[in-house]
Amino acid sequence: MHVLVVDKDPTISSFISGLIRRWGYEADESHSGREALEMVGEKEFDLVLMDIAMQDMNASDLISRIKAAMPFAGIVTMTDRNSGELENAIRTLGIVYYMSKPVNEQSLKEILDHMYLRKRDTSR
């Protein structure tokens, strides 16, 4: 399974990508919405793990453009500014999961394992 980690903070994206690789999955990093869209246009990802507070693009635009380019990829959003209103708005965009930062490693691993099994079962 191939994951794209999108976070404006290179320290966070590097940490998360390292976890993903340690668990046996592939991971690439992007630090802006525009860069993420370029990468999505060049490679196939099974999952996009993205911060919803990107500086160059709002979350709904980025999510809709990723979904248009890769309709079968799952999208997991992360935020450090959680609110019920924000969560409800983001969930209406068809994401797989919404998580608060700091990222809980066990929860992230469970999500990745679930997505991997779902992908494996649908490709049979």
Q: Which whole-number Å values give the CA distances from 45 to 3, 9, 11, 74, 109, in the listed order?
A: 6, 21, 21, 9, 17
The pLDDT score that the predictor gives to residue 83 is 78
The pLDDT score that the predictor gives to residue 124 is 57
Going from N- to C-terminal start, the domains of the chain cover 2-122
Please tell me the pTM assigned to this model: 0.93
Residue 42 is which amino acid?
E
Mean pLDDT of the chain: 92
Listed in sequence order, the residues at least 6 apart from 18 whose beta carbon sits closer than 8 Å to its beta carbon are: none
CATH class of 2-122: alpha beta
The pLDDT score that the predictor gives to residue 81 is 83
